[in-house]
Amino acid sequence: MSRLNYHHLYYFWQVAVTGNLTRTAEQLHISQSALSTQIRNLEDNLECQLFDREGRKLVLTEAGQRAMQFAEDIFHRGAELESLLRLGVSSANKRLRIGTTSHMSRNFIEEFIGPAMQDAEASVSLVSDNQNKLVDDLTRHELDVVLTNANVEISDNQAWQIQLLSRQPVAIVCPPALATADLKAHSWVLPSRKHAIRGEFDAFCLRRGFSPTLKAEVDDMAMLRLMARDSQAFAVLPRVVAKDELATGRLVEREALTGVYERFYAITVERIFKPELLDVLLAGYD
């Protein structure tokens, strides 16, 4: 009875991801001819062709596409197993590795991890980076969950699990001195166009018939909150971002943007083992 060579399957998987034999050989630190031989051995063992060559690019055959789906699952499960055993099962249940996009609301993150911070046995690790890098780390089981306020592209080879955690109202806020001032007569600090709410605000301005005088635009919500607080300008923020300033009166809500929301998502991947702590945190948003 023949046995599947997982070493050959791994090489096939890496080539399938890049679609380029030379680049994959460089990444794996082996010769291109050795890599080609390994894949041919796999094809001979499976008695089917896995790639078609189109110019310099390798394209998966129908059999190759099916093999790729199984390879994705096999090696992601392997990464999950390695991560679990390195942490230890008991500690893994109470340890959570969370990735957050750099422009996420710090107030929302603090709210999300609140139950974990009250658990004496729990341990939380927070990593901030761009969304693509975080999702890659999630795939390799280096993270347990990614928090984001941006849309997520669905991969053909990976079933992302996306949960809408919260839908936060967005409002125009300002220092108390501007509470009754003309919106057209003062400058604005705004989210950059990377944020969906910026487009919603642009539509609001169009309906009101004015173009805002831009003082600053910011990617990071924490920085936007500080600028809203410390500059004599109007700002557009989800209420959760400025909740402390609104509570103390350093900022006031001038006007709600009706029907405009900042959406916060949790991204996870299908896995055999899920930390109990993650279930606890996600259950707070069911």
Q: Is residue 91 part of a domain?
A: yes
95 & 152 share domain: yes
More confident residue, 286 or 123: 123
Decide which of 49, 78, 107 is a domain's last residue. 78
Residue at 217: amino acid letter: E
Is pLDDT of 13 > 90? no
Q: What are the residues whose beta carbons fall under 8 Å from the beta carbon of 233, sequence distance 6 or more?
A: 174, 178, 186, 187, 188, 189, 215, 216, 227
The mean pLDDT value for 124-133 works out to: 90
Separation of CA 199 from chain center: 21
With CA atoms as reference, report the closest residue to 282 among 152, 159, 161, 194. 161
Winning range, highest mean pLDDT, from 60-64, 125-129, 140-144: 125-129
Nearest Cα to Cα of residue 124 among 101, 96, 146: 96
Residue 190 lies in a domain: yes
Per-residue pLDDT at 115 exceeds 50: yes
Domain-located, residue 46: yes
The residue out of 59, 78, 97 marking a domain boundary is 78
Q: Using an 8 Å Cβ cutoff, are 198 and 191 in contact?
A: yes
Q: Is 28 in the same domain as 148? A: no
In this structure, are 173 and 253 located in the same domain?
yes
Please report, for the domain that includes residue 31, its CATH number.
Answer: 1.10.10.10
Whether 216 and 248 map to the same domain: the answer is yes
The mean pLDDT value of the chain amounts to 85
Number of domains in the chain: 3
Local confidence band at 1 (pLDDT 50, 70, 90 cut-offs) = very low
The lowest-confidence range among 2-6, 177-181, 192-196, 230-234 is 2-6
| pLDDT higher at 89 or 58 | 58
Structural domain boundaries enclosing 132: 85-156+265-283
Share of the chain above pLDDT 90, in %: 29
What pTM does this model have? 0.65
Question: Of residues 228 and 89, which shows the higher confidence score?
Answer: 228
Q: Are 95 and 182 part of one and the same domain?
A: no
- Residue 154's pLDDT is 64
The answer to whether residues 69 and 195 belong to one domain is no
Asked if residue 86 has pLDDT above 80, the reply is no
Q: Which of 44, 59, 78 is the last residue of a domain?
A: 78
Q: For the segment 200-212, what is each residue's pLDDT rounded down to a tens digit?
A: 999 999 998 999 9
Query: Distance between CA atoms of 167 and 149, rounded to whole angstroms?
Result: 10
Q: Which of 58-72, 81-95, 230-244 has the lowest mean pLDDT?
A: 81-95
